Copies of this chain bind each other. A is one copy, B any other.
Amino acid sequence: MKMPTDQLTLTFAALADPTRRAILKKLTHGQKSVTDLAAPFRMSLPAISKHLKVLANAGLIERSREAQWRPCKLRAAPLKNASTWIEQYREFWEERLDRLDDYLKKLQSKEKDHDDPK
Interface residues of A, Cβ cutoff 8 Å to B:
6, 8-9, 12-13, 15-18, 21, 24-25, 28, 73-74, 76-77, 79-80, 82-83, 85-90, 92-93, 101
- Known A79-B86, A90-B83; contact A17-B21, beta-carbon cutoff 8 A: no
Sampled A-B contacts (12; CB under 8 Å): A9-B16, A12-B12, A12-B13, A12-B16, A13-B16, A15-B85, A25-B88, A76-B89, A76-B90, A76-B93, A79-B89, A83-B83
Q: Taking A8-B21, A83-B83 as given, write out 20 further A-B residue pairs in contact, using a Cβ cutoff of 8 Å, ordered by the A residue number.
A: A6-B18, A8-B18, A9-B16, A9-B18, A12-B12, A12-B16, A13-B13, A13-B16, A15-B86, A25-B88, A28-B88, A28-B92, A73-B101, A74-B89, A74-B92, A76-B90, A79-B89, A80-B93, A83-B86, A86-B86
Main secondary structure of the interface of A (DSSP, over half): helix
Copies in the complex: 2
Which residue of A6, A8, A16, A88 has the most chain B CB atoms within 10 A of its CB atom?
Answer: A16
The 10 closest A-B pairs by CB, nearest first: A76-B92, A12-B16, A76-B93, A13-B16, A12-B15, A76-B89, A80-B93, A83-B86, A79-B89, A12-B12
